Structure 1
Amino acid sequence: MPEKDFIAISRSVSKGAATLRKAHPELMQAFSGVGKAVYPDGALDNKTKELIALAIGVTVRCDGCVAHHAMACLDKGATREEVVEAIAVAIHMGGGPSMVYGAEALEAYDQHVKDRL
């Protein structure tokens, strides 16, 4: 199976969001508002929330979610080891399909690391 380009997928997600923002600004403003309400530090810090989001992306097998949240995990200072543990929880909850997709999530994180070197 060819390697997915998660950097390109991240860019595509951003482009798609911009297109939706122009087509339905009220919807995208509301969606952005949910993120602004959810992601600030609280009982859980932002990094932990991004690790949770990455794990959910694995369980639902969403390329765009994994690409975006792998980059966000890196932005928030998550280590590769923390990403691996979040993926492990996703695999536990999602079974075999999450195991297959968990490897892709780790590849997404690694691609974002390499892209920043």
Structure 2
Amino acid sequence: MKKNPREMLNEFMGGLQSVKDYSGEQVGAFMNLLGACYKPSKLDVKTKELISVGIAAYNRCEYCIVFHVYKALEAGATPEEIMEAAMVAVAFGGGPSMAYSVTLLKDSVEEFRKDFNK
């Protein structure tokens, strides 16, 4: 069954908020770590998001794929750059990474690129 990237993104973001009610300290600590890691430094945010896309495809983490494709587009990445990052993951992850790259990752790019006029 084909998954809807926008619904998955909303589900992930909503789940993150609701879990804060139970484990706010831990969720906050995780979000602080993300904030520190994605702060521009030697690498810009776009580059960090492209790395994240590759890692997500390699690990076959569906919510990570959806989230980081969105964030990569938001940071200024082009669909071509996102797919190239995914193909680097395929070099390491083989068939499973390819399967996620040509389905959910591709669908996420197509769904979210409209939000950023790409």
Partner of 2:108: 108
Q: CA deviation at 1:59?
A: 1.0
What is the CA deviation profile of residues 55-77 of structure 1, one whole-angstrom value per residue up to 9, with x for unaligned ones? 11111111111111111011001
Partner of 1:61: 60
19-28 vs 5-14, which deviates more? 19-28
Residue 83 of structure 1 contacts residue 106 of structure 1 at CA under 8 Å; is this kept in 2?
A: no
Whether 1:72 aligns to 2:54 is no
How many pairs were matched up?
116
Partner of 1:82: 81
What is the CA deviation profile of residues 20-57 of structure 1, one whole-angstrom value per residue up to 9, with x for unaligned ones? 11111100110011011100111111001011111111
Residue 79 of structure 2 contacts residue 113 of structure 2 at CA under 8 Å; is this kept in 1?
A: no
Whether 1:32 aligns to 2:18 is no
1:92 and 1:107 map into 2 onto residues whose CA distance is: 20
Q: CA deviation at 1:114?
A: 3.4
Q: CA deviation at 1:116?
A: 5.7
Partner of 1:22: 21
Residue 74 of structure 2 contacts residue 116 of structure 2 at CA under 8 Å; is this kept in 1?
A: no
Q: Could you say if the C-alpha distance between residues 116 and 48 of structure 1 is closer, same or farther in structure 2, counting changes exceeding 3 Å? A: closer
Q: CA deviation at 1:81?
A: 1.0
Q: CA deviation at 1:3?
A: 2.6
Identity of aligned residues (%): 34
RMSD: 1.3
DSSP-derived class of the 1:44 partner: coil
Structure 2: unaligned runs, 5 residues or longer: none
TM-score calculated relative to the size of structure 1: 0.93
